[in-house]
Amino acid sequence: MKTLFSGIKPSGDLHLGNYIGAISQWTALQEKYKCLFCVVDYHAITVKQDPKALRKSILDIARVYLAAGINPKKAIIFQQSDVSEHTELGWILNTITKVAELEKMTQYKDKARDEKKEGPGAGLLNYPTLMAADILLYHTDVVPVGHDQMQHLELTRLLTKRFNTNYGTTFTVPETIVRKEGARIMALDNPAKKMSKSSQSPNSYIALLDEPMVAHKKIKRAVTDSDNKIKYDPDKKAAISNLLAIYSALSNKSVKELEILYEDKSYGEFKEDLANLVANFLTEFQARYKKYSDKEVKKILNKGAKEAKAMAEKTMKLVKKNLGVN
Ligand code: AMP
Ligand code: TRP
């Protein structure tokens, strides 16, 4: 069986973009792959976190994985900092990475801009090498992520090949998996910007823990395009295309099917149906979310850490041998 790895940072509430772009793909793929789903806490601390909030967020992200339908009997769910090999391999990969390659990353440039006053930390710059380590430690074949992580994955592939060339074949070169529609869910109030939890306006995103009725209102208020045609065309009709991508991901109906279904319908009717779909999805999701106690989540993370650690130790033995350090 091929191996799949993905992860999310515990840094605040997740939104529908995270769910559609990343997590919903995971649940769909978990039968086909040996899966590892990581709560990447050492990535979260590349920007300042409050320790108490971080501790809670780690459990909450794992709870989201479970509520989304990841089966802990089949997949490994674990916390990055529980497996110290991640940072160990991250260091090693730093030694084969050029500073210029890291400075080119758009996520780094965006985040560096946010840290204008004091300047970006070294952790923000080195973030992609830790991400590459996460992936390479498990000889990962596929990495399902949202569109904004594709550049990091390209760098991971480059570093993999460079390591294998320098030190002999050690790692598998991973493939990126992104959704055809929904890899980049856009803000509801501005389809030129991606849906993001750091947005100033709460109307721009739907948090997975939003009250279903609040989410319903947000969809009804979402901006649409000038004509009244329900057609998927992200360049010319960005707003309605975004809503179609959300509808398709949550209903398992293809965009094509939806276009036919709503051929003679108005934006108003379409948005009412989508608002109900989103509200129902959230109601069911939140009911499952509440079922997992902290104790239960911790137990699952501990079990996952043991399994991941055993795999990571094996990889590090090979890495150290090939490097010539033992
Ligand atoms: P983050 O919250 O940045 O750790 O992102 C977690 C996952 O969600 C990554 O795979 C991202 O690519 C994905 N993601 C974040 N925002 C969006 C969005 N607006 N649309 C689709 N995927 C997203
Ligand atoms: N960098 C990813 C994000 O910001 C999170 C992440 C860390 C990740 N390590 C990973 C995703 C490994 C996939 C594989 O969303």
SS3 303: helix
pLDDT of 309 reads 98
Q: How far is the CA of 262 from the centre of ligand 1 (A)?
A: 28
Residues 6+ apart with CB under 8 A from 223: 188, 189, 190, 191, 239
Whole-angstrom Cα distance, residue 174 to residue 157? 6
DSSP-derived pairing of the beta strands 186-187 and 190-194: antiparallel
Encoded tokens for 313: 């130790």
Residues 6+ apart with CB under 8 A from 129: 90, 93, 94, 97, 102, 159
Q: Is the pTM of this model over 0.85?
A: yes
The H or E element spanning position 76 is: strand 76-79
Encoded tokens for 83: 């497996």
In short, whether 308's Cβ falls inside 6 Å of ligand 1 is: no
Q: How far is the CA of 276 from the centre of ligand 2 (A)?
A: 31
In short, whether 105's Cβ falls inside 6 Å of ligand 2 is: no
Classify burial at 177, counting beta carbons within 10 Å of its beta carbon; exposed 0-12, middle 13-18, buried 19 or more.
middle
Q: How far is the CA of 8 from the centre of ligand 2 (A)?
A: 6
pLDDT of 324 reads 98
In short, whether 86's Cβ falls inside 6 Å of ligand 2 is: no
Q: 142 - beta bridge partners? A: 4, 175
In short, whether 131's Cβ falls inside 6 Å of ligand 2 is: yes
pLDDT of 199 reads 80
pLDDT of 252 reads 86
Residues 6+ apart with CB under 8 A from 17: 146, 184, 185, 194, 195, 196, 205
Whole-angstrom Cα distance, residue 118 to residue 120? 7
Counting as low any pLDDT under 70, the low residues of the chain are: none
Whole-angstrom Cα distance, residue 219 to residue 278? 8
- Measured from the Cα of 11, ligand 1's closest atom is 2
Whole-angstrom Cα distance, residue 75 to residue 77? 6
Encoded tokens for 307: 């399994």
38: nearest Cα among 129, 137, 157: 137
Residue with CA at minimum distance from ligand 1 atom 15: 18
Q: How far is the CA of 259 from the centre of ligand 1 (A)?
A: 26
Q: What is the pLDDT of residues 88-129, one digit of tens each?
A: 999 999 999 999 999 999 999 999 998 888 899 999 999 999
Q: What is the pLDDT of residues 131-155, one digit of tens each?
A: 999 999 999 999 999 999 999 999 9
Whole-angstrom Cα distance, residue 49 to residue 43? 11
Q: Among all residues, which ones are annotated catalytic?
A: 111, 194, 197
Residue with CA at minimum distance from ligand 2 atom 13: 6
Q: What angle do CA 17, 19, 24 make, to 5 degrees?
A: 130
Q: Is the dihedral of CA 276, 280, 283, 289 positive or negative?
A: negative
Q: What is the pLDDT of residues 293-318, one digit of tens each?
A: 999 999 999 999 999 999 999 999 99
Whole-angstrom Cα distance, residue 222 to residue 240? 9
SS3 71: coil
